[in-house]
Chains A and B, each alone.
Chain A
Amino acid sequence: RKEVEQDPGPFNVPEGATVAFNCTYSNSASQSFFWYRQDCRKEPKLLMSVYSSGNEDGRFTAQLNRASQYISLLIRDSKLSDSATYLCVVRLLAGGATNKLIFGTGTLLAVQP
């Protein structure tokens, strides 16, 4: 089983739609959680961190469920510019390695006009 799993998509949605991405992780010792965005042929960039209490940044809401080992990202009122690949990222605590960052395979979002 992969350490971090995501639905690869693609998700094709119309402008203005609400879209949700899900991510599951297998290691209960996971410490920190993030969503990154990657545009085509570019490097990934941080979209938002994910906190236990849930957090929101404008149209974006991230949630964490430690009991179910599940992370989600909700995008409201989708824009054309939201089209990208969204990567779920987990920082692992494993022995002395507290800085191992594991990426999911990413979910491709295509927002249609």
Chain B
Amino acid sequence: DGGITQSPKYLFRKEGQNVTLSCEQNLNHDAMYWYRQDPGQGLRLIYYSQIVNDFQKGDIAEGYSVSREKKESFPLTVTSAQKNPTAFYLCASRIRGFDTEAFFGQGTRLTVV
């Protein structure tokens, strides 16, 4: 079945550590996105990528990094520079250039302990 998969579902990190969240899709979508959601809040865009080897900062990119070496994969690294990393992270993908829906993974809940 085609879809978008995020792993792990829950992640605990010690302060000062970098951690990488995985996002894989087999939908052949060009565009991929990372969002952060805090309790009772909407989704805020961290990074997005329109094609392989290209990505742009969203509204809250500080303290995060991404790579897009393969079409299927768009991992997000939460670095120690991110001061408040505890949140629900959502990855999405969609067909580039059309008015089509974005499909989301089930999300990763990151908690800093």
Across the interface, do B90 and A100 meet the contact criterion of CB distance under 8 Å?
A: no
Q: Is A66 an interface residue (CB 8 A)?
A: no
The answer to whether B50 and A99 touch across the interface, beta carbons within 8 angstroms, is: yes
B71 at the interface (CB under 8 A from A): no
Interface size class of A (residues with CB under 8 A): 20 to 34
Name A's interface SS.
strand
Q: How many A-B residue pairs have CB under 8 A?
A: 58
Q: Is A101 an interface residue (CB 8 A)?
A: yes
Contact call A99/B48, Cβ cutoff below 8 A: yes
On whether the beta carbons of A100 and B104 are closer than 8 Å, the reply is no
Beta-carbon contacts under 8 Å, A69-112 to B: 87, 89, 91, 97-106
Q: Is B96 part of the contact surface with A, judged by Cβ < 8 Å?
A: yes
Distance between Cα atoms of A109 and B93 in the complex (Å)? 26
* Structural contact, B104 and A44, CB atoms closer than 8 A: yes
| A43 within 8 A of partner (CB) | yes
Q: Write the chain B residue with the least CB distance to A51.
A: B99
Contact of A44 among B31, B43, B94, B97 (CB under 8 A): B43
Measured CA separation A8–B38 after assembly (Å): 14
Q: Is B26 an interface residue (CB 8 A)?
A: no
Inter-chain contact A97/B50, CB cutoff 8 Å: yes
Can you add 4 more A-B contacts, CB < 8 Å, to A31-B99, A103-B44, A103-B45?
A45-B104, A49-B101, A87-B43, A103-B35
A-B CB contact pairs (8 Å), 30 listed: A6-B42, A31-B99, A41-B88, A43-B104, A43-B105, A43-B106, A43-B107, A44-B43, A44-B104, A45-B104, A46-B102, A49-B101, A87-B42, A87-B43, A89-B102, A98-B97, A99-B48, A99-B50, A99-B94, A99-B96, A99-B97, A100-B45, A100-B48, A100-B58, A101-B48, A102-B45, A103-B42, A103-B43, A106-B41, A106-B42
